[in-house]
Structure formats: C-alpha cells, structure tokens
Amino acid sequence: NAGVTQTPKFQVLKTGQSMTLQCAQDMNHEYMSWYRQDPGMGLRLIHYSVGAGITDQGEVPNGYNVSRSTTEDFPLRLLSAAPSQTSVYFCASSYKGGISPLHFGNGTRLTVT
C-alpha cells in the first residue's frame, strides 16, 4: 500500500545512546519532514527536505541529523540521546512542501531514560 512507513514504532534508549529512525515513502513525493509531538506543544518541525540531496533545519533541529540520498528515504539520527528527546516522532511527506497536504507515518514513540 502506498504511504509513509516509519520504523520502529517504539524505542527505549539510555542517555548518550544513538539511533536512527527510519522513514520511507513510495509516492514519489518531493517533500519530506520530521516532526516531534509533545503535550501542549503541538507538532514542531525538526528537519525537512524539498528534494533528494537537499535538507534544511526546522524549528527544533539541535541534537538531530538528517540526510536525503534518495527521494524515498529520509532517516532521522539522534546523535547522543537526552531525556528531553523523549517524544513521539512523525515523518510526513507531500508532493510539494508548503503547498500540498502532508501524508503522515504512524509515528515512533521514543523514551530516553
């Protein structure tokens, strides 16, 4: 089925560990993005990409890295996990950033202890 696939669904990390959240879409969307959702804060944009080879910072980029080597994939790397990164992470894609509606993945619930 066409859509945005995120893995894993759940993850527990210890402070200082690193990990990569995977995101793939099969809709040939130009735009991909990562958000974190925290109670009372809404969704905050971490990083986004308007096409393969192009990435840019969002509202809360510190502590995260991204790359976009292919149109389909947009992994999010946590370099050294901190308790403040405990959150629900959503990957989303759209045909064209800022204009087209977003298609969301099912989310990754990350806990950092």
Residues that bind other proteins (CB under 8 A): 31, 33, 35, 40-45, 48, 50, 56, 58-59, 90, 92, 94, 96-99, 101-102, 104-107
C-alpha 95, offset from chain centre: 17
Q: What minimum distance in Å lies between the beta carbon of 45 and other proteins?
A: 6
Token readout for 43 is 């969704």
Q: What minimum distance in Å lies between the beta carbon of 80 and other proteins?
A: 26
Pick between residue 10 and residue 14 the one whose CB is nearest to other proteins.
Answer: 10
Distance between CA atoms of residues 14 and 113, nearest Å: 5
Q: Contact at 8 Å (CB) between 103 and 27?
A: yes
Q: What minimum distance in Å lies between the beta carbon of 38 and other proteins?
A: 10
